[in-house]
Amino acid sequence: MASASEIAAKLNLVPNPEGGLYTETFRDISIFLSKSQLPPHYKVDRPVSTCIYFMLQSGNVSRLHRIPCAETWHFYLGEPLTIVELDEKDGKLKLTCLGPDLGDNQQVQYTVPPYVWFGAFPTEDFHISRDGRAAKAEPRDAECPIPSLDAPARLPFNFKTLSSENIPSLFPPFRIMSLSFLFSPILIDLPSDFSCSQLIGANKFSCF
């Protein structure tokens, strides 16, 4: 089986602003939504959907962020990945494990609803108890075992990351402390017409 670095090179993966590695694999140019068809926070016309490859190695996380549209994750290969959702409306925590073991309640597909704070981590890197407290596992080799490789699909978006400066007061303090590994050190508030490729530099777009 290929190493994480070999997979990243094969799929042209580059750093993702909120963590992990990604590349865009599809952008539907057959249907464009005009500004008049979109909510007011969208400032430009947009294609109806996009897809990416996303890889998360051991020792890395996808930091808590939110977007104004639903995002569907498809699991492809590697170790399981846990999606963490924090609902600003009621402060509730939800954990969903993406992976190949359906008998262990892992999901091969999951949709995160719009406007929910969410992030992700390799399932074997942390244990989160029922009350939301996280315990870190011993460090592991980021190259092996094979990291989680997934394919989120959604409308091209603007996103905001959750940092210590903008944590909603609804979240219990112990939960904030235990999940601090998913917080961004700074707040990233991007305009509605922003493309991820603008932040990380020129990206290679390929179809697989």
Spans of all domains in the chain:
4-194
Longest CA span, the chain: 51
**What integer pLDDT is reported at residue 102 of this predicted model?**
94
Q: What integer pLDDT is reported at residue 196 of this predicted model?
A: 33
**C-alpha dihedral sign at 183, 185, 190, 195:** negative
Is 31:117 a contact under the CB 8 Å cutoff?
no
DSSP letter (8 states) at residue 140:
-
**How far is residue 22's CA from residue 164's CA, in Å, rounded to a whole number?**
25
pTM for this model (two decimals): 0.76
pLDDT at position 105 is 92
Label residue 203 exposed, middle or buried (CB < 10 Å: 0-12, 13-18, 19+): middle
Walk along the chain (208 residues) in steps of 10 and give the mean pLDDT of each run: 88 91 88 81 75 91 85 92 86 89 94 90 84 77 68 55 56 61 52 34 25
Residue 46 to residues 52, 54, 105, 117, 196, Cα–Cα distance (Å): 16, 21, 36, 23, 14
pLDDT score at 80: 94
By C-alpha distance, which of 71, 70, 24, 17 is closest to 51? Answer: 24
* Fold annotation for 4-194: Jelly Rolls (2.60.120)
For the chain, give percent helix, strand, coil, nearest 5: 15, 35, 50
